Amino acid sequence: MKKNIALIPGDGIGPEIMAEAKKVLDAVARRFSHEFSYTQIIAGGCAIDQFQNPLPKKSLDDCLSSDAVLLASVGGPKWDSVDASIRPEKALLGLRSGLGTYANLRPAKIFPQLASSCPLKNEIVKDSIDILIVRELTGGIYFGKRGRSPDGKEAFDTEIYSDWEIERILKVGFESSLKRRKKLCLVDKANILESSRLWREIAKKMSPDYPDVELSFMYVDNAAMQLVRNPSQFDVIVTSNMFGDILSDEASQITGSIGMLPSASLGESGPALFEPIHGSAPDIAGKGCANPLAMILSCAMLLRYGFDMDEEADLIENSVEKILDEGYRTFDIAGLEADELRAKGKLVGTVQMGDLVVSQILDK
Ligand code: IPM
Ligand code: MG
């Protein structure tokens, strides 16, 4: 198959991990006789430096005319003081709304090989953790009306959702849970927010269409607590943009492997967007030690959800597992064994980790 992939390396460790992702995609193309071409896209802080605009029109247009978009990470302290209207994060929001990718899938799971880096006690994680957060991504308070009073002493942001926006994201929630353990939990604040009450109303209306899915409801404060108290109870969580932002950080952290987690942002049609959950990690940028695996696993999601290439996606995921089975680790997932691994030559940097995955892919 011939496909064009838009690559957004962005800022911080972005370019380093993107280089590894591209190597992996090339290896998959070779193995399966696909033809992948790439369009390099500038967005984020580096675009502010060059064009005073985090997402120049040409960047968005190039993404829109690609078959899928792969993004590494944007932002960093260098741009902390730029005007709010051109912050690097604006590139992300512009991409999400420009591409119409309203459904953000954020898996949070423990890799058995890395179970010891989970910060929770063994007895809490009795049945492991394998959660999929389905976060609404193009609506709610992120995109609602905001402003200041004329004297600047009052400010407001608006949480606003229409029935069709809620319905389409809930559909993704129901359908994702059908492919998993068939449990869907709608997380909201329906004891306070009218918008949450509308989410619940619509979820209850849709539920009979999915008789195999067990639907439950949970207030967001309780969900934040339950995620550390008993994370194994969750299968799929569906929630609004803001709550999903917060809970997905929490969920990824309790797995202990934030450097391992990919995400997919899908729309109705048009190219979807794939990116690791972690940020641009400016503190380790340029040191060659960043973990490229979340970025590489984002390529697997791209192939699976973007191009329906399940076999290719499986191969990437299995290759990563194999490398972990063989004991290779970057420093962030080395845990207490870092010194021992270093002595054995198994503590590897960004490029070596990418090479290991590539040789695994070409080997099978
Ligand atoms: C995320 C990030 C973004 C968000 C920021 C960088 C705008 O936190 O993707 O979770 O809030 O959505
Ligand atoms: Mg976030």
Nearest ligand to the CA of 137 is 1
Q: Is 26 a catalytic residue?
A: no
User: Active site includes 219?
Assistant: no
Known catalytic membership, residue 189:
yes
The Cα-based distances of 207 to 204, 211, 243 in angstroms read 5, 7, 22
Q: What pLDDT, in 10s, does the model give residues 239-259? A: 999 999 999 999 999 988 889
Ligand 1, CB within 6 Å, residue ranges: 89, 92, 245
Mean pLDDT of all residues belonging to the chain: 96
Ligand nearest to the CA of 246: 2
The model's pLDDT over 291-339, given as tens digits with 9 standing for 90+, comes to 999 999 999 999 999 999 999 999 999 999 999 999 999 999 998 888 9
Is the pLDDT assigned to residue 51 strictly greater than 90?
A: yes
Q: Which of 26, 130, 249, 355 is catalytic?
A: 249
User: Could you give phi then psi for residue 90, rounded to 5 degrees?
Assistant: -60, -30
Which one of 136, 239, 245 would you pick to mutate in the ligand 1 pocket, going by the greatest count of ligand atoms within 8 A of its CB? Answer: 245
Find, among 169, 180, 174, the residue nearest to 130 by Cα: 180
Calculate ∠ Cα 11-16-19, nearest 5°. Answer: 115
Supply the Cα-derived Rg of the chain in whole angstroms: 20
The protein residue whose alpha carbon is closest to atom 6 in ligand 1 is 89
Domains along the chain?
1-104+266-364 (3.40.718.10), 119-255 (3.40.718.10)
Q: What is the DSSP letter of 326?
A: T
Indicate whether 186 pLDDT > 80.
yes
For residue 204, the CA-to-ligand 1 centroid distance in Å is 29
Note the pTM of the prediction, 2 decimals: 0.94
Distance from the CA of 343 to the center of ligand 2, in angstroms?
Answer: 36
Residue nearest to atom 7 of ligand 1 (CA): 89
Catalytic residue flag (residue 249): yes
Calculate mean pLDDT across residues 47-54. 96
For 109-165, how does the pLDDT look when each residue is reduced to its tens digit (9 = 90+)? 999 899 888 889 888 887 789 999 999 999 999 999 999 999 999 999 999 999 999
Distance 279 CA to ligand 2 centre (A): 9
Note the pLDDT tens digit of each residue in 92-102: 999 999 999 99
| Separation of alpha carbons 17 and 290, rounded Å | 7
Q: In a mutational test of the pocket of ligand 1, which residue from 87, 89, 137, 252 has the highest number of ligand atoms less than 8 Å from its CB?
A: 89
Residue 258 is predicted with a pLDDT of 86
Residue nearest ligand 1's atom 8 by CA: 245
Q: What is the enclosing helix (H) or strand (E) of 7?
A: strand 2-10
Shortest-distance Cα residue to atom 5 of ligand 1: 89
Look at residue 277 in the predicted model and tell me its pLDDT: 92
